[in-house]
Amino acid sequence: MKVKLLTTISFLTYQLSTSQTEKVIQGNVVSNKAPLNKVEVINKTAKISTTTNELGEFSILVKEKDSLLFFAKNYLFTRLKITTKDIENNNLFVNMILKPEELNEVIINKVEFDKVKISADDVANVLITKNAKDLFWNTGVSDNSIREALRVSFPLKGKKKKTIEVADDRFKKLVIAACPPDFFLKNLKIKPEEKELFINFCDADPKSKTLLEDPNVLATMDFLYAKNKEFKKLK
C-alpha cells in the first residue's frame, strides 16, 4: 500500500514539475503578411524580453500560462497567453495591426465676408454682356423691344461714351434689366403705349430709391405689382 502511495505521489510531482518547466519557444511577428523587425517581445510573467530580427523571428523562454506582450512603434500592442499546445507546437504566429493614422488638430475660425452690393447699372451691364452674344443683338435691326432699349441706354464696352448730362434714369434701367420683355403686357396688363408712363409713375414713388440701394429682381417685381394696382385706379 505504501509503495503504491509513494508511486502516485512521485508521478504527480513529476507531472507538476514538467508542467512548470520553462522552455524556449520560437515565433514570428508579421503585419499584413510582412515580417516586422525590432518588435519588443516581453514575457510579463517571467519579466524577460527580446526583439525580433529582420525576418520577424524571435525566441524567448516561457512556461504554460505566461503572458507575452508585443510592442512596436505605430502598431497596436498585442497580448498572448501561452498554452500547453503553443509550447508543444513551438511555432507562435503573431499578426500586429497598424494604428489608425492620427490627424493634426484642425481649427476653424469664423470668417466674415463683406456684403456685395450691386447697383442697377451693374445689373444692366450683366444683361447687356449676355445679350451681346445673341445673333439678333448684333444685327443692328431695331424691333422696339426691351433689349434694343437697353442697347441704346447702355453702349457696349469698347465704344466711347459721350459725356452728356441726362436725368436720373437708374430706376428705369433697373426695371428694364430685371423684367422680361413681355412682363408689362402679359403680367401687368399694361399696353405698350402706357409702359413709359407707368415706369415714370413708379419712379416718382420714394420707395423706388430704396430698390436702387439694394437691387433685387423679386423685390423690384413685387414693387411693380403693387404700383400697378394704384396705376389702374388712376384710370
Domain residues of the chain, as ranges? 21-95, 120-234
| pLDDT score recorded for residue 158 | 55
Lowest-confidence segment of 107-116, 125-134, 177-186, 198-207 by average pLDDT: 125-134
Answer whether residue 8 shows pLDDT above 90. Answer: no
Question: What pLDDT score was predicted for residue 38?
Answer: 93
- For 78-87, write each residue's pLDDT tens digit: 999 999 999 9
The residue among 133 and 61 whose pLDDT is bigger is 61
Mean pLDDT computed over 65-73: 92
Name which of 25, 143, 11 is nearest 81 in CA terms: 25
**Region 176-197 average pLDDT:** 88
Name the amino acid, one letter, at 219.
A
* CATH among 3.50.50.60, 2.60.120.680, 3.40.50.300, 2.60.40.10 for 21-95: 2.60.40.10
Q: What is the enclosing helix (H) or strand (E) of 47?
A: none
Q: How far is CA 33 from CA 59, 76, 97, 134, 196, in A?
A: 19, 16, 11, 66, 84
Number of residues written out for the chain: 235
More confident residue, 127 or 67: 67
When pLDDT is averaged across residues 179-196 and rounded to a whole number, the result is: 88
Question: How many CB atoms within 10 Å of residue 167?
Answer: 7
| Average per-residue pLDDT for the chain | 77
Does residue 11 carry a pLDDT above 50?
Answer: no
pLDDT at 207: 87
